[in-house]
Amino acid sequence: MRDKLEATRYPGVYRRPNGTFVVRIKAVSDRTGQPVERMLSLPEDATLAEARLIADDLREQARNRVEKVLPPSLRAFGKEWVVRKLERGEWTAGGATKANVEHHLRAHINPVLGDYRLDKITPADLEAWVDGQVRTGNKMNSVRTRWVTLKNLIGAGCRMYRIVNPADGVKLPKGASMTRGGKDLVLMPEQLRTLIAIAREKSPDCWHPLLMLGFSTGARPSELVAIRVKDLDLTAEVGKWQIRQHWVAGKIVAGTKQHEEGRPSYIDPETTRVLRILQQQRRQLVGEEGWMFPAGGRSADSGRCVTTTGLWVWLQKVLPELNLPALSGKALRQTNVTLSAMAGISQAITMAQVGHSSQAVHAIYNRPPEQPRQDAARKLGEVIHLDERRVDADADVGAKVGTKVGTGTDGQN
């Protein structure tokens, strides 16, 4: 059954029951004299004012007074899209988002769909692309990430050229939509200390100090692996790490995700002490410009820094000793943010420490685990039922007193 459309105050603009807009106009062509009807469903985020402008534009097109501009190919629009994101300040030139998007376009999207014009892409084309990504053995996390890039790109193009979005309704294969390559998991202090102890025993010159630094600062894994000796100021009790670059798409990129100039992050005293010893060794071996953590975790300089892949491969080997599943790339940051909140550190301080500029994004990383939430429920219960327990206790005391009074000698009170 078709949705009943509700008329708005603008001719040709209608509202569906779910709140989205539909533009339906009728006009007579100036060239042919024939009646022409046009209809277009607008995206969920379209406003009434935007719908009105689209209706006016469609009406002019139907009358053949305006020549319709054909949308560009996906490849051409992808270049425009990246430039527009940079101009609007949504991405930074050296940021991980831009580098990842360009990699997805170049390696996975354009070779298959790049020559398709935006208005010629169909849902079947997109489903075939997704199926091809899965069929060639890509991890579900990778497929999901590339699909998000493609969907956002097509959505932006359809809004600009006012065409129906073919990505609406296209779904990933079962199991791909929420997979992130590991479990979002917060380590409790005891688990964290055990993991650090294992790292100290198995890899004292690489994974041990690197993990301590990661949990202490809540840094992104891509920032954590790309540290030069000069980036760490460890002269004071509380050390300072000037985050100047990060690892993305197989290369080192200047700046951080939100800060092209880099940002400072502070290090707890114990981690500072451990890093200070390692920094002295690395400074003698490779100088100030050398990598703090060389590739493969070797003490000798390899000319390359460790990678996020190397970190997760190593973690995969030791996590079973803690009876833990594979962790997602957010584990270090989620643990830092969650334990900071549990320790009573203000949200503003934690946001500055990990480099979050949005409270909404920051909230994603605060994941109180089950046990602290159970403890909180017990404490809340004590507050809620305090008066009831007092009433019950008073009643018990009164009953005991009454019994004693009523059984006095010779029946006298």
3-state SS of the chain is: CCCCCEECCCCCEEECCCCCEEEEEEEECCCCCCEEEEEEECCCCCCHHHHHHHHHHHHHHHCCCCCCCCCCEHHHHHHHHHHHHHHCCCCCCCCHHHHHHHHHHHHHHHHHHCCCEHHHCCHHHHHHHHHHHHHCCCCHHHHHHHHHHHHHHHHHHHHHHCCCCCCCCCCCCCCCCCCCCCECCCCCHHHHHHHHHHHHHHCCCCHHHHHHHHHHHCCCHHHHCCCEHHHEECCCCCEEEEECEEEECCEEEECCCCCCCCEEEEECHHHHHHHHHHHHHHHHHHCCCCECCEHHHCCCCCCCECCHHHHHHHHHHHHHHHCCCCECCCHHHHHHHHHHHHCCCCHHHHHHHHCCCCHHHHHHCCCCCHHHHHHHHHHHHHHHCHHHHHHHHHHHHHHHHHHHHHCCHHHCC
Average pLDDT of the residues in 312-341: 82
Q: At what angle do helices 347-354 and 331-342 cross, to 10 degrees?
A: 160
Pick from 38, 97, 80: nearest CA to 62: 38
Residue 278 predicted with pLDDT over 70 = yes
Classify each residue of 201-215 as buried b or exposed e, where b means 16 or more C-beta atoms within 10 Å of its C-beta: eebebbbbbbbbbbb
Rg of the chain in Å (alpha carbons): 30
Average pLDDT of the residues in 341-366: 86
pLDDT digits (tens, 9 = 90+) for 7-19: 888 888 998 888 8
Residue 325 predicted with pLDDT over 80 = no
Which option is the CATH number for 189-362: 1.20.1250.20, 1.10.443.10, 1.10.1660.10, 3.40.50.620? 1.10.443.10
pLDDT confidence tier of residue 205, bands split at 50, 70 and 90 = confident
pLDDT confidence tier of residue 236, bands split at 50, 70 and 90 = very high
Q: Given this model, what pLDDT does residue 342 score?
A: 87
Residue 266 predicted with pLDDT over 70 = yes
Tokens (6 digits) for 362: 């920051």
Spatial distance between the Cα atoms of 347 and 268, rounded to a whole number of angstroms: 18
Report the percent of the chain where pLDDT is more than 70. 83
pLDDT confidence tier of residue 178, bands split at 50, 70 and 90 = very low
Sheet holding 13-15, edge to edge: 6-7, 13-15, 21-28, 35-41
pLDDT confidence tier of residue 154, bands split at 50, 70 and 90 = very high
Spatial distance between the Cα atoms of 274 and 268, rounded to a whole number of angstroms: 10
Tokens (6 digits) for 127: 């489903």
Tokens (6 digits) for 340: 């900071």
What's the half-sphere exposure (Cβ side, CA atoms, 13 Å) at 85? 22
Q: Given this model, what pLDDT does residue 60 score?
A: 79
The residue assigned the tokens 């920094």 is: 279
Of the candidate ranges 104-118, 170-184, 303-317, the one whose mean pLDDT is the lowest: 170-184
The residue assigned the tokens 């509380």 is: 238
Q: How far is CA 359 from the centre of its chain?
A: 13
Residue 44 predicted with pLDDT over 80 = no
What's the half-sphere exposure (Cβ side, CA atoms, 13 Å) at 86? 16
Amino acid at site 314? W
Q: Are 129 and 113 in contact (CB under 8 A)?
A: yes
Cβ-based neighbours of 26, under 8 Å, separated by 6 or more: 35, 36, 37, 62
Would the pTM of this model clear 0.75, i.e. be above it? no
Please tell me which residue, 74 or 59, carries the higher pLDDT value: 74
Neighbour count for residue 119 (Cβ, 10 Å):
15
- By the 10 Å C-beta count (0-12 exposed, 13-18 middle, 19+ buried), 232 is classed as buried
Residue 207 predicted with pLDDT over 50 = yes
Q: Given this model, what pLDDT does residue 179 score?
A: 38
Q: Given this model, what pLDDT does residue 50 score?
A: 82
Phi and psi at 197, nearest 5°, equal -65, -40
Cβ-based neighbours of 201, under 8 Å, separated by 6 or more: none
Q: Given this model, what pLDDT does residue 107 score?
A: 92
Residue 393 predicted with pLDDT over 80 = no
Most confident of 160-169, 231-240, 341-350: 231-240
Q: Given this model, what pLDDT does residue 378 score?
A: 85
Q: Given this model, what pLDDT does residue 177 score?
A: 41
Residue 255 predicted with pLDDT over 90 = no
Average pLDDT of the residues in 99-107: 90
Of the candidate ranges 71-85, 336-350, 364-378, 383-397, the one whose mean pLDDT is the lowest: 383-397
Residue 172 predicted with pLDDT over 50 = yes
Please tell me which residue, 146 or 222, carries the higher pLDDT value: 146
Average pLDDT of the residues in 274-292: 91
Q: Given this model, what pLDDT does residue 301 score?
A: 55
Residue 76 predicted with pLDDT over 70 = yes
pLDDT confidence tier of residue 239, bands split at 50, 70 and 90 = very high
Q: Given this model, what pLDDT does residue 390 score?
A: 59
Neighbour count for residue 285 (Cβ, 10 Å):
13
Q: Please, what CATH class does the domain formed by 74-161 belong to?
A: mainly alpha
Q: Given this model, what pLDDT does residue 77 score?
A: 93
Q: Given this model, what pLDDT does residue 367 score?
A: 79
Q: Given this model, what pLDDT does residue 110 score?
A: 94
Which own/partner contact pairs does 381-384 have at CB distance under 8 Å and 24+ positions apart? none
Of the candidate ranges 6-20, 133-147, 386-400, the one whose mean pLDDT is the lowest: 386-400
